[in-house]
Amino acid sequence: MSEAVATHTPSKTAPPPPRVPARLAKMWQRGTDFLGSPVAIMGGAMSWVSERNLVAAISNAGGFGVIACGSMNPALLDAEIKATKALTKKPFGVNVITMHPQLMELVDVCQSNQVSHVVFAAGLLPGEAVKRAKAFAKVVCFAPAASFAKRLIKSGADAIVIEGSEAGGHIGPVSTSVLAQEILPVIRDVPVFVAGGIGRGDAIVSYLEMGASGVQMGTRFVCATECIAHPKFKQAFIRASARDAVASVQFDKRLSVIPVRALANQGTEEFMETQRRVLEKLLRGEVEQQAAQLEIEHFWAGALRRAVIDGDVERGSLMAGQSVGMVAREEPVADIIAELLSQADAALAARTSA
């Protein structure tokens, strides 16, 4: 998130529009029409990572960047949106956490800055916030199951993201492939974007063939040249394989903790100790359940910042999806998207010639 300060000056010149193969453009037209971008790839909202530079770079390269609001207050979000608009004239969205204590104020900030898409994440959909957001923007929500997706659509969601457990950061229990099979055949009312473990263009084609309107990708963009993440953070991604991105384990069922997928390091072990310490406080009655869970979330926020911004890759949190094994080098966002499009085109050509 842009509580961090960019360490470089991004290019003011946007790359030329990507060459989207005609067959691919037709397959994801519903997604591109919804997003307003020529490439139906949403950038995953990654705290401390998805700030003005990366978001603008994704949108300028033809994709759809999304600011990770995270724990930003309204003033910080306002500054971040304005800074992003100074770097791109293309559409982008803002991801807000439904549990944020200033949720309504954050939605108002999005409205005052004429944000085109608001993405609600991490919790039940608050009706008043959705109603307010729909007055000026398209609303996107995350659905962990088909039944939940149907409720979200009835509540006002204009599009759905289904994110499998292969994703980085906070994850659900079901894999992307299973979610896609469960949800894509039955959710046709709105566009559905698939996320979690996607690292290649041929995988994108497969989900489009199943009925998706596009995808969301985060891990592949962490090592973009435009990303402000610390060089040590990026090198950890480049060196890692898929099996290095592991999900955290819940210490005790009496303290409900959402699993987090990250590269294993000393910080992973410290999280287990933090769970134990917070659980003891909870059992002694020193904190309530909600406060205990918030303390866990504060651990992740601080650990993530240490890794992304300070470069502490030993004790910080290296949140990464299992597609990290497909991150081979640091390169511009435009090159990443061009490679994905080339892979998608090759996959479609192989289907035609078969």
Is residue 285 predicted with pLDDT exceeding 90?
Answer: yes
**What does the pLDDT look like over 95-138, one tens digit per residue?**
999 988 899 999 999 999 999 999 999 777 888 999 999 999 99
pLDDT score of 71: 87
- The residues that bridge with 93 in the sheet, in sequence order, are 66, 117
Reported as type and span, the H/E element at residue 282 is helix 266-283
**What does the pLDDT look like over 248-277, one tens digit per residue?**
988 888 888 889 999 999 998 899 899 999
187-198 average pLDDT score = 97
Is residue 6 predicted with pLDDT exceeding 50?
Answer: no
Q: Hey, what amino acid is at 199?
A: G
pLDDT score of 3: 42
**What does the pLDDT look like over 81-95, one tens digit per residue?**
999 999 999 999 999
pLDDT > 70: what percent of the chain?
Answer: 96
Query: What is the rounded CA–CA span in Å between residue 309 and residue 226?
Result: 14
Query: What is the rounded CA–CA span in Å between residue 84 and residue 79?
Result: 9
Residue of 196, 197, 118, 168 whose CA lies nearest to 304: 168
Is residue 321 predicted with pLDDT exceeding 90?
Answer: yes
Average pLDDT value over all residues in the chain = 93
226-252 average pLDDT score = 96
pLDDT score of 120: 97
221-248 average pLDDT score = 97
Burial class (CB in 10 A: 0-12, 13-18, 19+), 158: buried
Q: How far is CA 200 from CA 182, 288, 336, 341, in A?
A: 22, 44, 10, 9
pLDDT-based confidence at residue 4 (cuts at 50, 70, 90): very low
pLDDT score of 277: 93
The domains found in the chain, sorted by start residue, are 22-229+326-348 (3.20.20.70), 241-319 (no CATH)
How open is the CA angle 78-79-80, to the nearest 5 degrees? 90
**What does the pLDDT look like over 128-181, one tens digit per residue?**
999 999 999 999 999 999 999 999 999 999 999 999 999 999 999 999 999 999
178-193 average pLDDT score = 97
336-350 average pLDDT score = 97
Q: Give the least confident one: 10-24, 188-202, 240-254.
A: 10-24
The residue with tokens 């390091």 is 265
Is residue 354 predicted with pLDDT exceeding 70?
Answer: no
The secondary structure of 125-152 as a DSSP string is: --HHHHHHHHTTSEEEEE-SSHHHHHHH
pLDDT score of 352: 81
46-60 average pLDDT score = 97
pLDDT > 90: what percent of the chain?
Answer: 83
pLDDT-based confidence at residue 13 (cuts at 50, 70, 90): low
pLDDT score of 1: 41
